[in-house]
Every structure is written in C-alpha cells, then in structure tokens.
C-alpha cells in the first residue's frame, strides 16, 4: 500500500486492496471495549490500524467504525506508536500460536 495523508484516504485505499473478509481492528486506549488478545483472529489476514500517540479523534473513531473497524486495546496505558506496533504484532502472533 502507498502512503496516505488522511485516515479517509487510507480507508478508501484499504477498501480496494485489503481482503474483504479480513477482520478490521483499530487500537484505541480510550473507547475500546475489549483487548486485542480477545478480538484477534487465530488465523487468516487481519487489518490493524494504529493511530497517532495522541489517540484517535472522535471523528476518526467514527470513520473507523463506519469502515468496519472494531476498537481494541492493549491495556490502560498510552503507548508510543512504535511500542504499540511491536506489542500488537506480538499479540497477533501469540494468538496464532507463532510463539
């Protein structure tokens, strides 16, 4: 995928390139209802959205939900983006039995 400047552009690009059946999960420490470890699929492709360190704005959360994303969290602490990425990939791999 190419670099996109807005979330809306990224979602539009995603709709044309990602597998339609892939679960869509967005990391969000503020409004997520469940941890990533409970929502991550045990197999198959997954689309994972990581936002800025300030968190998703209310409008961005609305866009994500409208695009079929479920909000998931990695705990109650706000993580730096690079830390959240490594943690999220670790959770996904562990869920798939890769560790």
Q: In this structure, is residue 36 part of a structural domain?
A: yes
The whole-number pLDDT of residue 20 equals 81
Q: Is residue 11 part of a domain?
A: no
In a domain, 67, yes or no: yes
> Other CB atoms closer than 10 Å to residue 61's CB: what's the count?
20
- Evaluated on CA atoms 79, 75, 58, 84, the torsion sign reads positive
Cα(60)–Cα(9) distance, rounded to whole angstroms?
12
Domain total in the chain: 1
Residue 5 inside a domain? The answer is no
Query: Is residue 16 a part of any domain in this protein?
Result: no
- Whether 35 maps to a domain, the answer reads yes
> Which of 64, 65, 19 is CA-nearest to residue 46?
19
Within-domain flag for 4: no
- DSSP assignment of 17-32: HS-TTS-EEEE-TTT-
The CATH number given to whatever domain includes residue 35 is 3.40.1280.10
Domain that holds residue 48: 21-95
Burial class (CB in 10 A: 0-12, 13-18, 19+), 96: middle
pLDDT along the chain (99 residues), means of 10: 80 86 94 96 93 91 96 95 95 91
């Amino acid at each position: 995928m190419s670099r996109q400047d807005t979330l809306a552009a990224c979602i539009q690009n995603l709709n044309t390139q990602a597998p339609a059946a892939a679960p869509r999960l967005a990391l969000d420490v503020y409004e997520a209802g469940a941890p990533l470890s409970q929502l991550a699929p045990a197999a198959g492709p997954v689309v994972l959205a990581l936002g800025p360190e300030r968190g998703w704005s209310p409008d961005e959360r609305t866009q994500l939900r409208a695009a079929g994303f479920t909000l998931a969290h990695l705990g109650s602490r706000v993580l730096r983006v690079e830390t959240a990425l490594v943690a999220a990939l670790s959770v996904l791999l562990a869920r798939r039995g890769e560790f």
